[in-house]
Structure 1
Amino acid sequence: MTKFIHNFKLLKAASLILLMIFATTTLHSQAYTKEELQDSIAQQPYFSIHKDNFLVTGVPTNKSINSATANAKYQISFKQILTRSKLPLDTYLFLTYTQKSFWNIYEDSFPFKDINFNPSIAIGKFFYDKENRLKGVGTLSFEHESNGRDSIASRSWNRINVEYTTGIYKNTVASFKAWLPFAYKEGNPDLLEYVGLGQINVSHTYRPDKLIFDLRLRKGLNFEGKGSVRARVYYNPFSNNISNQYLMLEWYVGQAEGLLNYQQSQSMIRIGYVIRTNEFRWFNGRKK
């Protein structure tokens, strides 16, 4: 536990340093105009990536390393747009599906320890400033997440989300997400003690298509150190970048990385392959 607390404090300190680096960059990218954005959206496919799609493997830093504690994690995530500015107030409707799995590939028979299923339906809207330039993207969604098990291993929760994404500095995008949970007390009655009522995600592009830093913070509903910090570094080692492919280094510290053992504290470092989402690429400015 002492080692975990040390790692958690260390990662929080690193997070603050990273945010300070973001804050030193005060020049904004040339934002898309409403007309330019609508043209860009019209050229995009209806079916696309939603969150990162990845396969990573790694080891714990807060406990002994063996075949039971080392593992792999993979995620598939996609988005299907149902309408494009066809609804009132220029909103659009879309579906998403994300599946995250924890895979004990170093144990005999390679068992899956936990699989989390996460569908949602959402309404999105673009916001513009007085000069008709892109200011932010807001979404209102209904989201379900469960591990598909029964009896005492069953874990699930539902929530209504409000999320706002905006560019805060040059090449830096922040997402602020809050949720109103319901139908979660059977199987995981104290879940909010670990996931809280929202999260903040900050992503900074240090070199376009080459090097990106990403940080996500959650704080549980408690006066203790429950919650999570997830830091990611994306690096493209090749001369070009086809389909947003990167190598990803991830450090996860806290609880509730998966639903099954959401109360368990952990510190995991993993590395692997990722097809990174570019869902909010417009905030990095127009390419010249």
Structure 2
Amino acid sequence: MRSRYLILFIVFFSIKVNSQIIEEKKNFRAADSLLKENSFSVHRDNYFLTGVPINTDITRNTADVKYQVSFKLRLTSKPLFGSFFPYLLYTQKAFWDIYASSKPFSEINFNPGAAIVRPFYLKGGRLTYAAISFEHESNGRDSIYSRTWNMLAFSLKSQVSPRWTVGIRGWVPLVDKDDNPGLTQYVGYGEASASYLIQPGRWSADVLFRKGSGLINYGSLQTQLNWRPYRNENYYVTLQWFVGYTESLIDYKEHKSMIRLGFTIKPENMGIF
């Protein structure tokens, strides 16, 4: 009888230890998805695109170049409380009227921030990032041309299948209403994103939808088709279409529809948001 209980105890203990080992390995793999990147890495897409409007006349003043530089810095190689990793973030988006006679920059938007990111697995082994960030966005100008707001944002991004990655993000906007009347209506309170690998290593598609506070009048949609000419190089030929509001802060009340073509450098792995 004692030997039977001893065998049962050994079996129960081994099952428990094995389950703990599996869970520890799973948690390690989730954290390792961030640690295998360099501490300084690509945050959002870095791109250089040129294009024309499709909802108004095409002229030297309506065609432009849009480019974005975006990077992140992981501050520690070990997680902090709650298995969160701290990050510093920076994104800069510029609109360059390169076809106009004097080739001015019509707008530059600066978006620094800080975030804490928690990697984990959902049921079925789906890698997921939960993030809390505080960000500032402005165009660095003063007087009537000043556009600025802050946000406290919460996001989830998950690789739901080998080809699909989806994300959802909500924020609490903090806006100076005197300088930016009605800006909250246009930037809204959240966005949803999706990426699909049409042909892994070659073709992919991205969608980003931002909902304004109006029922149907505000918000934006940005879609991209990306082609990777060389599998060993991390750059893409990108066709991008933007329609809606707040593509730039200076013209946040202006509805735009632009189609652009150019080059993109993407994060090596699934972006944190």
Tell me the TM-score normalised to structure 1 length: 0.81
Separation of aligned partners in 1, 2:109 and 2:51: 19
| Counterpart position of 1:14 | none
| Counterpart position of 1:94 | 87
Equivalence map 1:135-150=2 (5 Å): 135-150=127-142
Separation of aligned partners in 1, 2:38 and 2:215: 45
Is the Cα contact below 8 Å between 2:238 and 2:262 reproduced in 1? Answer: yes
| Counterpart position of 2:3 | none
- Report the Cα offset of residue 118 of structure 1: 0.1
Separation of aligned partners in 2, 1:66 and 1:107: 9
Identity among equivalent positions (%) equals 39
Structure 2 unaligned blocks of 5 or more: 1-24
Is the Cα contact below 8 Å between 2:31 and 2:119 reproduced in 1? Answer: no
Residue 262 (structure 2) pairs with residue 272 (structure 1): yes
Of 196, 199, 202, which aligns to 2:191?
Answer: 199
Q: Secondary structure at the match of 1:127?
A: strand
| Counterpart position of 1:188 | 180
Residue 232 (structure 2) pairs with residue 241 (structure 1): yes
What amino acid does structure 2 have at the position aligned with 1:91?
F
- Report the Cα offset of residue 191 of structure 1: 1.1
| Counterpart position of 1:260 | 250
Could you say if the C-alpha distance between residues 53 and 130 of structure 1 is closer, same or farther in structure 2, counting changes exceeding 3 Å? closer
Q: CA RMSD in A?
A: 1.9
- My pick for the range that moved more, 155-164 or 186-195, is 186-195
What amino acid does structure 2 have at the position aligned with 1:229?
L
Is the Cα contact below 8 Å between 1:158 and 1:184 reproduced in 2? Answer: no
- Report the Cα offset of residue 195 of structure 1: 1.7
Q: Secondary structure at the match of 1:177?
A: strand
Q: Secondary structure at the match of 2:160?
A: strand
| Counterpart position of 1:231 | 223
Separation of aligned partners in 2, 1:218 and 1:281: 18
**4+ long deviations beyond 6 Å:** none
Structure 1 unaligned blocks of 5 or more: 1-31, 283-288
Separation of aligned partners in 1, 2:116 and 2:271: 19
Separation of aligned partners in 2, 1:92 and 1:75: 25
Tell me the TM-score normalised to structure 2 length: 0.86
Could you say if the C-alpha distance between residues 210 and 184 of structure 1 is closer, same or farther in structure 2, counting changes exceeding 3 Å? farther
| Counterpart position of 2:204 | 212
- Report the Cα offset of residue 206 of structure 1: 1.2
Could you say if the C-alpha distance between residues 184 and 105 of structure 1 is closer, same or farther in structure 2, counting changes exceeding 3 Å? same
Q: Which structure is larger by alpha-carbon Rg, 1 or 2? A: 2
Residue 240 (structure 2) pairs with residue 250 (structure 1): yes
- My pick for the range that moved more, 82-91 or 95-104, is 82-91
Could you say if the C-alpha distance between residues 92 and 281 of structure 1 is closer, same or farther in structure 2, counting changes exceeding 3 Å? closer
Between 1 and 2, higher relative CO (CA 8 Å, sep ≥ 6) is seen in 1
Q: Secondary structure at the match of 1:273?
A: strand
